[in-house]
Amino acid sequence: MKGILIFVLAGALVGVLLASWIVPPALAWYTTPGGLPQGAEVQAVVQISEVIRYSTSQLLRGQLIGGAIGGALGLVSGLVLEFRSRRRPTASTSTPTDRTTAA
């Protein structure tokens, strides 16, 4: 059980780290306007507090999703390894004792 929990927590941590690396470029790509000629600037008046709130909420949401996916994958891999280690046959050193000798 302890090994499975370690796999779940490690998977969640890896999922959060990957989301922290993937979400910001994806968010920048998603919010970039398309169809503009190269070098053209978008004139926009924005409320920076709304932009910051949107960006951070999307980053945190991505990290939550990444952590959940990583934890689920860690749970599955921990269960697979746990069942695989239980199914391994143990080498027995006992010898058969009910041999009969022919006379």
Write the DSSP symbol of residue 34.
Answer: S
Q: What is the DSSP letter of 15?
A: H
- Six-digit token string for 16: 């959060």
Instruction: Report the pLDDT value the prediction gives residue 31, as an integer from 0 to 100.
Output: 76
Residue 71 lies in a domain: yes
Domain region containing 63: 1-29+55-83
List the structure tokens of 59: 């980053």
How confident is residue 86, by pLDDT bands cut at 50, 70 and 90? confident
Is residue 21 included in any domain, yes or no? yes
Residue 38 domain-assigned (yes or no) = no
Q: What is the CA radius of gyration of the chain?
A: 28
pLDDT in tens, 18-73: 999 999 988 888 877 776 677 777 677 778 888 889 889 999 999 999 999 999 99
What is the mean predicted confidence (pLDDT) over 1-20? 92
In a domain, 3, yes or no: yes
Residue 24 within any structural domain of the chain = yes
Structural domains counted in the chain = 1
- The amino acid sitting at 3 is G
Is pLDDT at 88 greater than 90 in this prediction?
A: no
With beta carbons less than 8 A apart as the criterion, state whether 76 and 8 touch: no
CB crowding 30-61: b at 16 or more within 10 Å, else e:
eeeeeeeeeeeeeeeeeeeeeeeeeeeebeee
Q: What confidence category does residue 91 fall into, taking pLDDT thresholds of 50, 70 and 90? A: low
